[in-house]
């Protein structure tokens, strides 16, 4: 049997280059999801309660930002780094990475001002050190505290019930809807070759479907809450 002519010619189709926005978005979403879902924290059984840690963190950040003395900043740095160096390496990495990135960004941003002379080198060093210290303390807090402890502590600090409830729902829905977006984008990128046309339509479609699904899930959540005896009183939550 003889094959038709067109089947014998080699196919020279090369899809137009450039990475798909869907792939980029999946990547950035995946990173967030893994951070949120597997909060492989450093929290110990007898950790300092979040109720104390939140005001402590705020006090540290306010002091670090307001203070102009090099000695006090050195002391903060010594305490933070001293605490950090007894951690396991993997946990250290997740604190050092954002702090280093923030420090670098601050240094790059300050460079033109330093060259133009609108800020002294001493002040610039102080500024970068402060940025690093603040980001480091936030990262340490985040790494040693589970999310449900934070929301519980916020409730005890008399943050309005509606707000805490919404925060709790948000954390759950980021994972739920994020997974949905990932699935939608994966199917979208599997079905398209090279650069798709009508990309704005697909942005609208993906987020639109997510919104509709979110509204649906929300209704179901509310019905489930009603069935369990919820009486529209958020203050008691």
| Tokens 């670098």 found at | 104
- 237 closest CA partner among 146, 165, 159: 165
* CB 20 within 8 Å of CB 189: yes
7 vs 14, beta carbon nearer another protein: 14
Binding mask 88-127 for another protein (x = CB under 8 A): xxx-xx--x-x---x--xx---x--x--xxxxxxxxx-xx
- Token output for 66: 């307001």
Q: CA 85, 70, 101, 154 torsion: positive or negative?
A: positive
Applying CB under 8 A, what is the total number of residues that bind another protein? 103
Q: What is the DSSP string of 70-106?
A: HHHHHHHHHHHHHHHTTS-HHHHHHHHHHHHHHHHHH
Backbone angles phi, psi at 136, to 5 degrees: -65, -45
CB of 98 to another protein, least distance (A): 5
CB of 178 to another protein, least distance (A): 6
Angle at 98 between CA 93 and CA 99, to 5 degrees: 95
CB of 150 to another protein, least distance (A): 8
* Single residue of 82, 108, 228, 236 touching another protein by CB under 8 A: 82
47 vs 77, beta carbon nearer another protein: 77
CB of 159 to another protein, least distance (A): 10
Helix axes 89-116, 121-144, angle to 10 degrees: 160
- Token output for 64: 């670090």
Count CB-CB contacts under 10 A for residue 104: 13
CB of 203 to another protein, least distance (A): 5
* Single residue of 10, 13, 68, 229 touching another protein by CB under 8 A: 68
110 vs 155, beta carbon nearer another protein: 110
51 vs 142, beta carbon nearer another protein: 142
What part of residues 137-166 is at the interface with another protein (CB under 8 A)? 138-139, 141-142, 150, 160, 162-163, 165-166
State how far Cα 59 lies from the chain centre.
Answer: 23
What part of residues 156-215 is at the interface with another protein (CB under 8 A)? 160, 162-163, 165-174, 176-178, 181, 195, 199-201, 203-205, 207-212, 214-215
9 vs 231, beta carbon nearer another protein: 231
Distance (Å, rounded) from C-alpha 42 to C-alpha 24?
30
Binding status of residue 36 toward another protein by CB under 8 A: yes
Distance (Å, rounded) from C-alpha 152 to C-alpha 158?
10
């Amino acid at each position: 049997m003889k094959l038709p002519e067109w089947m014998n010619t080699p196919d020279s189709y090369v899809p137009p280059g450039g990475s798909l926005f869907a792939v980029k978005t999946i990547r950035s979403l995946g990173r967030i999801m893994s951070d949120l879902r597997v909060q492989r924290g450093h929290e110990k059984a007898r950790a300092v309660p979040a109720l104390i840690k939140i005001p402590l963190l705020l006090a540290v950040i306010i002091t670090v930002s307001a203070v102009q003395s090099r000695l006090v900043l050195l002391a903060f740095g010594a305490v933070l780094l001293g605490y950090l160096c007894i951690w396991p390496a993997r946990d250290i990495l997740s604190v050092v990475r954002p702090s280093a990135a923030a420090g670098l960004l601050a240094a790059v941003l300050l460079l033109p001002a330093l060259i133009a002379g609108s800020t002294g080198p001493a002040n610039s060093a102080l500024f970068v050190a402060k940025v690093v210290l603040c980001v480091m303390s936030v990262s340490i807090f985040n790494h040693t505290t589970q999310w449900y402890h934070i929301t519980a502590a916020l409730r005890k600090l008399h943050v309005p019930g509606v707000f805490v409830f919404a925060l709790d729902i948000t954390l759950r829905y980021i994972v739920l809807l994020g997974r949905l977006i990932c699935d939608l984008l994966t199917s979208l990128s599997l079905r398209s070759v090279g650069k798709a046309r009508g990309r704005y339509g697909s942005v609208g479609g993906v987020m639109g479907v997510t919104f509709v699904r979110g509204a649906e899930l929300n209704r179901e959540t509310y019905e489930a809450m009603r069935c369990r005896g919820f009486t529209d009183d958020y203050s008691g939550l």
